[in-house]
Amino acid sequence: MDQNSIEIKSMAVEDLDEILAIENSSFSKPWPRDVFMRELQIPVSRNLVATLRKDLHNEIAGYVTYWVVAGELQVHKICVREDLRKSGVASSLMAEMIRLSCREGVGICSLEVGRSNEGAKRLYEKFGFEVTDIRPQYYAESGEDAMILSLDLKKCLQFISKG
């Protein structure tokens, strides 16, 4: 897929039906509508969607929800529609999230990822994230460990200059 065909915009209430369809098909414990609604109202919360042009309208391909708190970007959720995974959508969302956060003066980004989530780990590694801690049995439903990853955003200057 041509990454130029991916558009990133702020999430809106009108996007939630498509987002919930992606969410429900992607997670064993999906966020319900009220959690996304709350995220759209919390001042520290930032929410982006990636869209692709199809026929005469744009379809949501993926989304990211993150917070900017005390100069730190905390990624809470990133998800791409199953049929579009490994197509550059997640990378586009990550790049835009980093670019926007750098413009806000954010210095560091942190997130957690399940030890077995190889696809997500490859994505984060591509952006330069490093493991800073392990939280044993962090995920209650599976008992899986969480890897805590961090990124010094000053190392990502290539994203600041765009737009």
- List pLDDT tens digits, range 40-73: 999 999 999 999 987 778 899 999 999 999 999 9
pLDDT of residue 58: 86
CA atoms within 13 A on the CB side of 93: 31
- Point out which residues pair with 91 in neighbouring strands: none
pLDDT reported for residue 140: 80
Q: Which residues of the chain have pLDDT under 70?
A: 1-4, 156-163
Rounded (10°) angle between helices 89-103 and 118-126: 50
CB 74 within 8 A of CB 67: yes
Domains, the chain, in order of start with CATH, read 3-109 (3.40.630.30)
- Residue 20, pLDDT score: 98
Which among 132, 56, 60 has a CA at the least distance from the CA of 93? 60
- What are the E-state strand segments in 30-103? 45-54, 57-69, 72-80
Q: 149: Cβ–Cβ under 8 A, 6 or more apart, which residues?
A: 110, 111, 112, 113, 124, 129, 130, 131, 132
> What is the pLDDT, as a whole number, of residue 54?
76
State the pLDDT at residue 163: 44
With contact defined as beta carbons under 8 Å apart, do 84 and 61 qualify? yes
Task: Write down the pTM of the prediction.
Answer: 0.90
Which amino acid makes up residue 141? Answer: E
Q: Which pLDDT score, from 0 to 100, does residue 83 have?
A: 93
pLDDT for 110: 95
